[in-house]
């Protein structure tokens, strides 16, 4: 009788252990599925966050672009139509001992507001990259000449009635300047960058 009882107890314990194991494995499977589902949801939300951040960056860029356009609609905006060349010959057209960068053409304010402190930023260098001209000249109609160092400034002042003032002026909406400017310098400029500059406040 004791053996039978012990066998029944062992069977009951084994069944109980099996039931607990089945319940435990079912619980683990349930929570694994739940965890996998939540992980997928988190991944999807992270993708949405990344997409929304990208959209925010794009919208900020659009706002900045529109802000820039607003400035153009309310402020000055200079455009140029210029011819530029380095005069190096020593003939009739350049009897001076210096070369000069010759700039001719139009600078127009196409903006809706006044372009204050308006000028041309002129940077020119020789074939080796040595800077020969680095200055901002005012926008003045008619023939003007400037020097870049003491010798060239003295030359333009004494021989060709050049300018020493680099005081920048203003262009009202629609106003243009017909430039005819020479910048005398030492050396030989082979490349240049000429950029209109201005401010929208005095």
Give the CA dihedral 94, 100, 149, 106, nearest 10 degrees: 120
**How does DSSP classify residue 93?**
T
Residue 179 to residue 144: CA distance in whole angstroms: 8
Q: What is the pTM of this model?
A: 0.63
pLDDT tens, residue by residue, 15-40 = 667 776 767 776 777 777 777 777 87
Half-sphere exposure of 146 (CA within 13 A, CB side): 22
Query: CA-CA distance, 52 to 22, in Å (whole number)?
Result: 44
- Taking 60 as the threshold, does the pLDDT of residue 42 lie above it? yes
| Residue of 136 and 55 predicted with greater confidence | 136
The overall average pLDDT reported for the chain is 84
Tell me the HSE value of 78 on the side-chain side, using a 13 A CA sphere: 26
User: Residue 55 pLDDT > 80, yes or no?
Assistant: yes
Nearest residue to 105 (alpha-carbon basis) of 141, 145, 78: 141
**pLDDT at position 190:** 94
Please compute the mean of the pLDDT values over residues 121-148 and round it to a whole number.
Answer: 93
Q: How confident is the model at residue 11 (pLDDT cuts 50, 70, 90)?
A: confident
Residue 168 clears pLDDT 90, i.e. is over it: yes
pLDDT, position 71: 55
């Amino acid at each position: 009788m004791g053996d039978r009882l012990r066998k029944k107890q062992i069977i009951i314990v084994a069944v109980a252990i099996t039931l607990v194991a089945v319940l435990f494995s079912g619980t683990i499977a349930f929570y694994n599925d739940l965890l996998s589902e939540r992980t997928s949801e988190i991944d999807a939300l992270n993708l949405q966050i990344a997409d929304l951040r990208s959209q925010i960056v794009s919208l900020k860029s659009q706002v900045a672009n529109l802000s820039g356009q607003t400035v153009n609609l309310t402020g000055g905006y200079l455009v140029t139509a210029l011819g530029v060349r380095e005069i190096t010959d020593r003939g009739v057209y350049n009897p001076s001992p210096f070369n000069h960068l010759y700039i001719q053409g139009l600078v127009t304010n196409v903006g809706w507001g006044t372009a204050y402190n308006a000028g041309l930023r002129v940077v020119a260098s020789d074939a080796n990259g040595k800077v020969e001209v680095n200055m901002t000249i005012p926008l003045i109609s008619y023939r003007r000449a400037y020097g870049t160092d003491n010798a060239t400034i003295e030359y333009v002042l004494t021989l060709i009635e050049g300018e020493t003032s680099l005081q920048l002026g203003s262009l009202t909406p629609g106003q243009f300047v017909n430039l005819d400017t020479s910048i005398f310098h030492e050396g030989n400029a082979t490349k240049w960058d000429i950029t209109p500059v201005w401010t929208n406040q005095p």
